[in-house]
A and B are shown apart, each in its own frame.
Chain A
Amino acid sequence: MTTTPTPPTKQVTPGTGPATGPVRTARSLAWERRRHSMARFWSSYRTHRAGLFGLAALALIALTALTAPLLVGSDVQSVTAAPGTAMEKPSGEFPLGTDQFGRSLLGLLVWGARISLTVGLLAAALSVAIGTLVGIIAGHYGGWFSTVLMRITDWFLVMPTLVLAIVLATVMSRNIWTVVIAIGVTSWPTTARLVRAQTIAVESRPYIERAKALGGGHTHIMNRHVLPNVMPLVLAQTTLGISSAILTEATLAFLGLGDPTVVSWGGMLQDAREAGAVSSGHWSYLAPPGIAIALVALAFTLCGRAIESVLNPKLGVAR
């Protein structure tokens, strides 16, 4: 990365300095600038058809998850109030059939979206937060401190994520937060590496030197100059991270390490396996949660890729 001179991106960079006008305040200028960059971002994003498809799919799924209490109601999880009999085939009443408790699988699928999305988003956010923090600190301070941090990062990088997550999920009590933490603390090293590289690139620019000369301290440099410049990278990384977090959540739940009392897609697969749905040929129990996981992961990946190529400074120049 360091070999490529990266010009400042469209993001807010205080170093460029706002032009002063007689009636316009700094705040209104900043807002205008942001509106501008958002519009530019959107017009560029629009050109990525895959990204639009991903966004549409995400919007649909998010809407379904948010309106699940209205669409299916929280009763759908209840085993004592289950409307059907066990393992029914798809019918008019139950479009995807029922599970071993007689609950509607379509209802569970809709309800499960809530947990899968929540865990995916939280875990990705946690992972990116840790990665950004470590990356910026390591990149900014450099020296032996950076070396130590990066060796720790390397250690986490070579650890098989899933194995580590399984160990964490096993030793901690079983609930959603455990899964979030297990995924979050195991998947941050990639972000840390990327952010550190970007930090070093940003800090080699002359305006950072100017800021230092004007008396900017470590915190000021990191918060006001470096962070805004690594944000695009972080944003893209988060979007891509969500899909892998959702997959890891599903994997953990499928392995029986999730919270058994909440309905999630991975948990549905695990339930299906325990009920013997595979060998008894109940495909309608098995396939929908798997396809849903694949779709959401795909949608996030498509969005992430589109955002990344929009924000990629290099591609921006080429256009």
Chain B
Amino acid sequence: MVTTALPQSARQRPRFRLVLATGAAAASLVTAGAVVPEAQAQPQARAAAADNGRQVLTVAVSQSIDSLSPFLAQRLVSTSIHRLAYDYLTNYDPEDGHTVPGLATEWKPSADKLTWTYAIRDDSKWSDGKQATAEDAAWTFNKMMTDPNAATASGSFTANFKKVTAPDPETLVIELKEPQATMTALDVPIVPKHVWEKVGDFSKFNNDKQFPIVGNGPFVVTDFKVDQYVKLAPNKAFWRGAPKFDELVFKYYKDGDAAVAALRKGEVSFVQGLTPAQAEALKSAENIKVNDAPGRRFFALATNPGAQSKDGKKFGNGHKALLDPAVRKALFHAIDRKTIVDKVFQGHAVEGEGYIPPRFESYFWKPDASRKIAYDPAKAAQILGGAGYKKNGNGKRLGKDGKPLDFRILCHATDPNDKAIGKYLQEWWGELGIGLKVECLDNVSDPWLKGDYDLAFDGWSVNPDPDFVLSIHTCAALPATPKDTGATDNFICDKQFDGLYAQQAAEYDPAKRADLVKQMQSRLYDTGYMNVLAYPNAVEAYRTDQIKSITTMPEAAGNIYGQDGYWSWWSAEPAAADDGSDSGSSMGVAIGAGAAVVLAAALGLFVVMRRRSTAEDRE
């Protein structure tokens, strides 16, 4: 750089900086992913294996924790942690999902089905040394019944409770208003009364100030930093047996590729939510096992049925044409579910049918061939034409108001599958002459709760007991007023569905209840507000040199992350501490090296160019 003439240097500098910045930014784009994970992996590679002889199980997660309070938490990651930190009255067997003892050892209903008596175990202690008793359970349920703020997360379980008492420390009695089928599937964490009775406002208390958090599950939460980690220590006195690892860490990786790179390095032991390409690449990696299991989620399209609240007020700006069943049917007829499974999920999913995934055999329902809304674009066009939606000269389908049909679809910006399927929908529906605008947002909740959507990508994890995923489509789940938030998924309110829901909720005979649940799914299918596209698999991978064995649920071909229970992390056995975790990174190194060469060449070119072009400036 020459700095003799002031004006010249003043003009040179910004330019030179720009060139450098250009090069650096461009290079960083070229190498974006390749370099970052490498750099991240440096500081504590092999942290997961024995360090100081301690066996640490590190799980990569990406979902943020909404709250550590069991009364508020609704997200999968938070409820999974509550499964580990608190004992529930009952648990599900990992093998087939039948109810097994939790905090309660035995339970039985009265003859009139309205009084349930639970025997509470005497060998469960809170982590501060106090005995866990029926009094704690009674206090938890009473709190949820009396304080609406404590009923946020799982109030649906206690809505029908009349009275909960603990006549002695080992007996819990729940009296019901109506018979309730979910009494052996009460997914409510029981909290210690002596800690929680000091809490003032349950809507604000997030349980994340004092560590360790007092609990009686197989693990105790010892530390938490927002979007960084959650640390748990094993509860050595857990009645079912102590977990084998010395520490369990949920560590945050907001980027899937970074998490996979960390797994390859051995920095984390377990990664979930793999893309097909990642799963394919990890299959051939050493010391890594890929688990591709039928999932417990459904992936659906929801159409706005005209958002409304319990007081009958309509709100939101959903498209009027979607209120016509013919339009919805035509849209669903134009979707090729097989292509979605083959191309988007690349085989890591099952084609969508009714509502509840086939994994829950007893409740699984699918439409018979005559009713099935199968892929048939010609029929879709015919339905639309028959219902009076004609194409105009430009090939655009016109609505009843004479305007072209253009829909919006809400998509989660963080979910690549939403975007990918959006692309297909645009083309399939484009053939019908229907426009589609894919609106990908980081926060879909706001427009969703306001009813400001036409269509949306929707999905829920289904529990072994289907009560919850069915309850979100009842009229009772609608928000009280347009300003409130209801438990409703998609503002569906259907009398017939509600009637069946009430029947199944009170049916204690499993076979009869399953039949009612199937009828509900059939009704939901016919209303046509929801259409399940696929049941995505749980695609996850773990290091076999760090985890010797781990329980999947169901035991045969089941998932590890997000189970209904604490089985996976509780049962995980550490592998013998041998050195074998530095493999599998050769590809990363190769990419990094390649990127470095490109970067160096680019920089070299810049320098040469610069020297040459400023040759006449130099003195």
Residues of A within 8 A of B (CB): 1, 3-4, 48-51, 78-80, 82, 86-87, 100-102, 170, 173-174, 190, 240, 243-244, 247, 250-251, 254, 256, 260-261, 266, 269, 272-283, 286-287, 290-291, 293-294, 297-298, 301-302, 305-306, 308-309, 312, 314-315, 318
Contact = CB atoms under 8 A, between A and B. Distances in A.
A106 B416 CA distance: 22
Contacts of A4: 5, 7
A80 B26 contact: no
Interface in B15-64: 15, 18-19, 21-23, 25-27, 29-34, 37
Nearest to B255: A273
B422 interface: yes
12 contacts: A86-B276, A86-B343, A87-B280, A100-B277, A243-B22, A272-B33, A275-B276, A276-B260, A278-B33, A278-B37, A278-B591, A287-B30
A87 B343 CA distance: 10
A231 to B, nearest CB: 16
A79 B18 contact: no
A274 B413 CA distance: 11
B317 interface: no
Nearest to A302: B609
Given A87-B277, A276-B274, A276-B277, A261 B613 contact: no
B278 A276 contact: yes
A3 B7 contact: yes
A291 B31 CA distance: 10
B424 interface: yes
Contact of A280 (B14, B277, B339, B602): B277
A69 B587 CA distance: 36
B142 to A, nearest CB: 44
Interface string B496-511: 0000000000000000
B7 A281 contact: no
B557 interface: no
Given A79-B427, A279-B261, A86 B346 contact: yes
B257 A269 contact: no
A129 to B, nearest CB: 19
A278 B616 CA distance: 44
A281 B587 contact: yes
A275 B22 contact: no
A148 B10 CA distance: 24
Contacts of A312: 11
Nearest to B264: A279
A276 B281 CA distance: 10
A152 to B, nearest CB: 20
B33 A286 contact: yes
B428 interface: yes
Given A80-B427, A247-B25, A280 B416 contact: no
Contact of A309 (B26, B442, B613): B613
A290 B587 contact: no
B426 A261 contact: yes
Given A174-B440, A279-B261, A293-B29, 13 more contacts: A50-B613, A51-B613, A80-B428, A173-B439, A273-B257, A275-B276, A275-B416, A276-B260, A278-B34, A281-B587, A301-B18, A306-B613, A312-B11
Contacts of A174: 439-440
B549 interface: no
Looking at chain B's contact residues, the main secondary structure is helix
A283 B591 contact: yes
Contact of A101 (B19, B23, B280, B420): B420
B573 to A, nearest CB: 27
Contact of B257 (A50, A79, A276): A276
A50 B612 contact: yes
B278 A298 contact: no
Contacts of A306: 613
Contacts, number: 176
Contact of A290 (B30, B277, B413, B420): B30
Contact of A282 (B6, B277, B424): B277
Interface of B: 5-8, 10-11, 14-15, 18-19, 21-23, 25-27, 29-34, 37, 255-257, 260-261, 264, 274-278, 280-282, 339, 343-344, 346, 413, 416, 419-420, 422-424, 426-428, 438-440, 442, 587-588, 590-591, 594, 598, 602, 605-606, 609, 612-613, 616
A315 to B, nearest CB: 8
A55 to B, nearest CB: 14
Contacts of A250: 29
B469 to A, nearest CB: 28
Nearest first, the 3 closest Cβ-Cβ pairs linking A and B are A278-B33, A290-B30, A280-B281
A151 B605 CA distance: 38
A260 B257 contact: no
Nearest to B613: A50
A240 B19 CA distance: 9
A286 B31 CA distance: 8
Given A260-B438, A261-B426, A280 B280 contact: yes
Q: Which of B261, B419, B427, B609 has the most CB of A within 10 A?
A: B609
B422 A260 contact: yes
A277 B26 contact: no
Contacts of A243: 18, 22
A302 B612 CA distance: 12
Contacts of B282: 280
A160 to B, nearest CB: 13
Nearest to A2: B7
B419 A260 contact: yes
B380 to A, nearest CB: 14
Contacts of A297: 22, 25-26
A312 B612 CA distance: 17
Contacts of B616: 315, 318
B22 A278 contact: no
Contacts of B424: 79-80
B5 to A, nearest CB: 8
Nearest to B278: A276
Nearest to B336: A80
A247 B346 CA distance: 32
B535 to A, nearest CB: 20
A1 B7 contact: yes
B22 A247 contact: yes
Contacts of A273: 32-33, 255, 257
Nearest to B595: A287
Given A80-B427, A277-B277, A50 B609 contact: yes
B362 to A, nearest CB: 35
Contacts of B27: 294
Contacts of B613: 48, 50-51, 305-306, 309
B416 A101 contact: no
A101 B280 CA distance: 16
Contacts of A102: 343
Contacts of B26: 247, 290, 293-294, 297-298
Given A274-B275, A280-B281, A269 B32 contact: yes
Nearest to B29: A290
A247 B339 CA distance: 35
B209 to A, nearest CB: 31
Given A102-B343, A276-B257, A281-B281, A290 B31 contact: yes
Nearest to A287: B30
